[in-house]
């Protein structure tokens, strides 16, 4: 019985991963050749950081620095292309889904936690429209 329950939970987690990946196809780099206004500035500053420039003195934007370093890491992983940032976005989307599922699972049960995590994600996803670099 315990083994069957474990496999069921693994199945639900794989479904959450599938949801994150499928939702990320809405904003993958081939679908949006020109980045969104916010995404574009974050990519630009991330690329400038990789060139060795200093944030807030040589390159400036009013956002906190963490977002720029994430974009710089994505550009580094993607060899200068936005595909690395896209991969990091998928990882963060999945982590968000996984953490919400695991937080609710103990008190609500696996199926209800899965449904609530999915519903909350899809509601926010429809609102954000794929601009997840923030």
| 37-51 per-position pLDDT tens digit | 667 777 778 888 888
> What predicted TM-score, i.e. pTM, was given to this entire model?
0.74
Give SS3 for 106.
helix
Residue 3 falls inside a structural domain: no
Q: Which two tokens stand for residue 60?
A: 């400036």
Residue 7 domain-assigned?
no
Instruction: Return d(Cα 61, Cα 37) in angstroms, integer.
Output: 13
> Is residue 134 situated within a structural domain?
no
- Show Cβ contacts of residue 65 under 8 Å, excluding neighbours closer than 6 positions: 55, 56
Q: Is residue 47 situated within a structural domain?
A: yes
Residue 2 belongs to some domain of the structure: no
**Res 37: pLDDT:** 62
Q: What is the mean pLDDT of the chain?
A: 78
Q: In this predicted model, which residue has the larger pLDDT, 34 or 98?
A: 98
Those residues whose C-beta lies under 8 Å from the C-beta of residue 2, and which sit 6 or more positions away, are: none
Q: Among candidates 37, 33, 38, 58, which has minimal Cα distance to 48?
A: 58
Task: Read off the pLDDT of residues 65-117 as tens digits, 9 standing for 90 and up.
Answer: 888 888 888 888 888 887 888 888 888 888 888 888 888 888 898 888 888 88
Q: 92 in a domain, yes or no?
A: yes
**Residue 122 belongs to some domain of the structure:** yes
Angle between helices 110-128 and 2-24 (to 10 degrees): 10
Q: Is 80 exceeded by the pLDDT of residue 29?
A: no
Q: How many domains does the chain have?
A: 1
In a domain, 9, yes or no: no
Residue, of 82 and 36, whose pLDDT is higher: 82
Cα(70)–Cα(127) distance, integer angstroms: 22
Answer whether residue 6 shows pLDDT above 70.
Answer: yes
Residue 80: domain span:
15-128
């Amino acid at each position: 019985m315990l083994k069957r329950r474990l496999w069921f939970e693994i199945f639900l987690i794989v479904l959450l991963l599938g949801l994150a990946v499928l939702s990320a196809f809405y904003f993958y780099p081939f679908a949006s050749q020109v980045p969104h206004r916010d995404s574009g500035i974050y990519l630009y500053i991330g690329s400038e950081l990789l060139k060795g420039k200093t944030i807030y003195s040589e390159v400036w934007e009013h956002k906190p620095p963490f977002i720029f370093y994430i974009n710089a890491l994505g550009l580094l992983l993607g060899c200068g292309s936005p595909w690395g940032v896209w991969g990091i976005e998928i990882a963060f989307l999945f982590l968000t889904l996984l953490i919400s599922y695991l937080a609710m699972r103990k008190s609500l049960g696996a199926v209800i936690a899965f449904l609530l995590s999915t519903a909350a994600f899809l509601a926010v996803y429809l609102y954000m429209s794929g601009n997840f670099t923030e």
